[in-house]
Amino acid sequence: MQSIRNIAIIAHVDHGKTTLVDKIIHASKIFRENQEFNDLLLDNNDLERERGITILAKNVSVRYKGIKINIIDTPGHADFGGEVERVLKMADGVILLVDAFEGPMPQTRFVLGKALNLGLKPIVVVNKVDKENCRPDEVHESVFDLMFNLGATEDQLDFVTMYGSSKQGWMGPDFRNPTDSILPLIDAIVEHIPEAPRPEGIPQMQVTSLDYSAYQGRIAIGRVFRGELKEGANMALTKADGSIKKVKIKELHVFEGLGKLKVESVSAGDICAVTGLDDFEIGDTLTDAENPEPLERIAVDEPTMSMLFTINNSPFFGKEGKFVTSRHIRDRLMKETEKNLALRVVETDSEDKFLVFGRGILHLSVLIETMRREGYELQVGQPQVIFKEIDGQKCEPVEILVVDVPEATSGKVIELVTQRKGELLIMEPKGDLQHLEFNIPSRGIIGLRNNVLTATAGEAIMTHRFKAYEPYKGPIPGRLSGSLISMETGTTTAYAIDKLQDRGFFFVDPGEEIYMGQVIGEHTRGNDLTVNVLKGKKLTNMRASGSDDNVKIAPKINFSLEESMEYIQGDEYLEVTPKSIRMRKIYLDENERNRMSKKETVA
């Protein structure tokens, strides 16, 4: 039986994780000499490449000296925390990749902490030692300090360190003596990462992630922890509620290079993909039909937030997108639920409106951003948390919010969180940072991340996990200022914007096309104000010296997709098209808005 190593790679954005995997793949001669390949093989969607966050964990494998190495790519972002823990369960060791100049970064800390708690053996790779001003020795010390602060064991602290440059394709134990290949790193993996155990007995495979194929349906991916799986075998699938379902393995695939290889059997220690299982969930165990033995379940966070998705019915609809009908949007959302675990879609009583339930703002925004890039036009409503009635009492989702922040700014963070009904549970030093833990309603987290990062100069690390439904905590202060709304459809003029600057801040520049009812700025007061930003200066043949040519307009405020989602009010929609993001009132006509608000007041 061949020896197997399962290794996960942890790194911060832009530290070279994907480039390193590329070089390992090339070194193991997966590509034929004449075959062409692209760089960044793993981050294969544009969104991942741009944001620098691996959203979906991927698997590749290489063979070296008769040993199979399964490489598992991990998402580095805390909002995909559920994904991280599941993925690390498949590994026996981790490569921690850090930049020789920047050193370990905040997000690395989150994933590394999870890996150390699971008892995984680390190998540290200090990358980019060819950069100017790099400081490999100091970075090595800071990695040691970080692991010590995260409570690593003595065995974990006795880690091997490799230095090199993924881009130039070399790694070695000493950065002063560059080698000519990446093979010393692969040798270190083989030598120091424990071999995957191969226990015999009743087969057990836990489903840790899933894939979807138009031909084969849903595909279960996971590691075989014990025994052997065989093609065509009758097995049992143990579910979350304790029930056991009889299933049959249709096909088995192992990961080979960048693709999959069909095999007849998979033994313990390897990672495989199984087709033919319908109706499975993450955490289910595939085991023997006669003597089922389930593994301990992995928790998948349940959705805590919902957003209304609807067709784009603004005056500018259909100008930029290819897919604009409710049928297009329904089909796309249903396709997403096949492989996006924490996402649920519920149809409403209206044909063109869908309620989409997700884990948080980032989770939902990645879906919206992916859809707009694919050519969809849609509108989304204000994010809402999901309330439940338990024993006759209104309850809301409460999350445990963990913030690690430098001591100097911890006071600001506590103030921001308590304003949003957060309760401080724990405050303790954690190495060089203050570790804060809060109970906070999910409503309070909307819009909080930006405020916290601003207050801490970007140094706070925020993670939140769903805790439970608890009694409603009362109103939370939202946005204090009203909206500036366009009175007419047309092109904005510098003259009109200049004259209205004392009324608020604008989200549009002169010369932009806008429509009636579009939210074009933030009012300085709490009420909404309808303004005309289209009118030009009355033209006469007299020239007023000194006042005509000195229009000074503050630059418009640019919102990212997430910021826009957090900014809109309950009576507003966010219009999302492949090229634009616009905020608008649900009712574009001012008279209709007034009529509807009176109806709501009466009701």
CATH number, domain containing residue 440: 3.30.70.240
Is 16 annotated in a binding site? The answer is yes
Long-range Cβ pairs for the range 252-258 (8 Å, 24+):
254/61, 255/59, 255/60, 255/61, 255/70, 256/61, 257/25, 257/30, 257/60, 257/61, 257/62, 258/25, 258/30, 258/41, 258/60
Is 17 annotated in a binding site? The answer is yes
Least confident range of 67-81, 124-138, 154-168, 221-235 = 67-81
Most confident of 8-17, 316-325, 469-478: 316-325
Position 155 in a domain: yes
Percent of the chain at pLDDT exceeding 90: 14
Is 155 annotated in a binding site? The answer is no
Higher-pLDDT residue of 480 and 234 is 234
Q: Give mean pLDDT, residues 320-343.
A: 84
Element (H, E) at 435: strand 433-441
Residues 172, 36 share a domain: yes
Higher-pLDDT residue of 483 and 60 is 483
Report the residue count for the chain.
603
Cα 214 vs. chain centroid, distance in angstroms?
A: 24
Residues 444, 402 share a domain: yes
Is 18 annotated in a binding site? The answer is yes
At 254 the three-state DSSP class reads strand
Residues 165, 18 share a domain: yes
Q: What is the CATH number of the domain that holds 237?
A: 2.40.30.10
Position 539 in a domain: yes
- Quick one: pLDDT at residue 310? 93
User: Residues 335, 296: contact at Cβ < 8 Å?
Assistant: no
- Written as one letter, the residue type at 158 is D
Q: What is the mean pLDDT of the chain?
A: 81
Q: Which of 449, 471, 493 is where one domain is finished? A: 471
pLDDT tens sequence across 582-601: 999 999 988 888 888 887 77
- Quick one: pLDDT at residue 379? 94
pLDDT of 37 above 60: no
Least confident range of 44-58, 158-172, 527-541 = 44-58
At 420 the three-state DSSP class reads coil
pLDDT of 12 above 80: no
Position 183 in a domain: yes
Position 197 in a domain: no
Provide the domain limits for residue 248: 204-288
Residues 487, 461 share a domain: no
Which token pair is 407? Answer: 């001591």
Position 553 in a domain: yes
Q: Which of 236, 262, 288 is where one domain is finished? A: 288
Which token pair is 247? Answer: 């299933």
Is 127 annotated in a binding site? The answer is yes
Position 295 in a domain: no
Residues 110, 208 share a domain: no
Position 294 in a domain: no
Residues 135, 92 share a domain: yes
pLDDT of 490 above 60: yes
Q: Which of 288, 316, 334 is where one domain is finished? A: 288
- Domain tally, the chain: 5
Q: Give mean pLDDT, residues 76-104.
A: 71
Report the 10 Å Cβ neighbour count for 40. Answer: 13
d(CA 462, CA 459): 10
pLDDT tens sequence across 355-376: 998 877 777 888 898 899 899 9
Is 128 annotated in a binding site? The answer is yes
pLDDT of 166 above 80: no
Is 19 annotated in a binding site? The answer is yes
Strand 251-256 versus strand 204-213 pairing type: unpaired
Confidence of residue 36 (pLDDT cuts 50, 70, 90): very low
Residues 119, 11 share a domain: yes
pLDDT of 40 above 60: no
pLDDT of 54 above 60: no
Residues 55, 114 share a domain: yes
pLDDT tens sequence across 261-303: 888 888 888 888 888 887 777 778 888 888 888 877 776 666 7
Element (H, E) at 149: helix 136-149
Position 35 in a domain: yes
pLDDT of 20 above 80: no
pTM of the model: 0.70
- Quick one: pLDDT at residue 58? 64
Q: Give mean pLDDT, residues 239-246.
A: 82
- Quick one: pLDDT at residue 414? 92
pLDDT of 575 above 90: yes
pLDDT of 92 above 50: yes
Residues 174, 283 share a domain: no
Sheet (strand 4-11) strand order: 59-64, 67-73, 4-11, 93-99, 121-127, 160-165, 170-172
- Quick one: pLDDT at residue 34? 39
Q: What is the CATH number of the domain that holds 589?
A: 2.40.50.250
- Quick one: pLDDT at residue 83? 62
Residues 555, 501 share a domain: yes
At what angle are helices 106-117 and 136-149 packed, to 10 degrees?
Answer: 50
Higher-pLDDT residue of 390 and 74 is 390
pLDDT tens sequence across 513-561: 999 999 999 998 888 899 999 887 777 666 655 555 567 888 888 888 8
Residues 399, 350 share a domain: no
Measured CA distances, 137 to 140, 163, 570 (Å): 5, 10, 53
Residues 173, 25 share a domain: yes
Q: Could you tell me if residue 73 is left (phi over 0), alpha (psi between -120 and 50 degrees) or otherwise beta?
A: beta
pLDDT of 398 above 70: yes
User: Residues 549, 561: contact at Cβ < 8 Å?
Assistant: no
- Quick one: pLDDT at residue 75? 58
Among the listed residues 442, 433, 449, 593, the one whose alpha carbon sits nearest the alpha carbon of residue 529? 593
